[in-house]
Structure 1
Amino acid sequence: TFTPTADTNVRANTIRVNLAGVRDDAGNAGTGNASSTNYSVDTVRPTATITLADSVLTRGQTTTVSIRFNEPVTGFDASDIVLTDANGTLGPLTPNAERTLWTATFTPTDKVGDATNTISVNLAGVADAAGNAG
């Protein structure tokens, strides 16, 4: 059983065996090396960064929210956005072709003055191509 090192992302790997120290039942020594085929290791979990084009909004304004992942992800949708402390709504998410950047329009709630608003992402349902959960 092979267990890769945690938080590793390496595309080119092989496992090699030096056959010089190996003997068969007749006592014949092995020669050379044996190598596995190339395999990749990805144990890095996806992360996200959220930015707003404008973080000081007034009545009637909207802003673009960008959610950027450190690698392409699957399983990300509007249900993963946490607006509990946002005082506003988020329009439909639009991903880029690489699935690393999603954008949407944030509309603040009218007649609310609050300097402590936050938008967050629940990464539990998000995964990268290797199956690593956020």
Structure 2
Amino acid sequence: TALSVGETSLVTITFSEAVVAFDNTDVTVENGTLSALSSTDGGVTWTGTFTPSVNVTDTTNLITVAATYTDTAGNAGTGASSANYQ
């Protein structure tokens, strides 16, 4: 569903195994901001709050995770993009 002015949305990024050195610099968010990402399960699931930019209507938004993080064994991440969010 579309976010209205003043609304926020919880963003969850889930990996297949724990990752380290993962933070907001690894994530690109279009048309808004993402609060500091945090994990409470050892680095598998990360959450943050998305706040959309004011006065932007765009139906082709993506959240992109760069391949700049590593897992606990030191293997580089692969990167990915979300499905469209509105």
Relative to the length of structure 2, the TM-score reads: 0.82
SS at match of 2:48: strand
Report deviation, 1:70. 0.6
Structure 2 residue runs of 5 or longer lacking an equivalent are: 78-86
Instruction: Tell which has more relative contact order, 1 or 2 (C-alpha 8 A, sep 6+).
Output: 2
Which of 80, 83, 100 is the aligned partner of 2:26? 80
The match for 1:61 is 7
| Whole-angstrom distance in 2 between the partners of 1:131 and 1:95 | 18
* Partner Cα distance (1:129, 1:88) in 2: 30
2:39 matches 1:95: yes
Q: How many Å separate the matches in 2 of 1:90 and 1:130? A: 27
Q: Over aligned residue pairs, what C-alpha RMSD do you find?
A: 1.1
Aligned mates of 1:96, 1:66 — CA distance in 2? 12
Deviations 1:77-134 (A, max 9, x none): 1100112xx10011111112321011000000111111111111102x2111221111
Q: Which amino acid aligns with 1:126?
A: Y
Matched length: 77
Radius of gyration: which is bigger? 1
Q: Percent identity?
A: 44
Matches of 2:2 and 2:38, distance apart in 1? 23
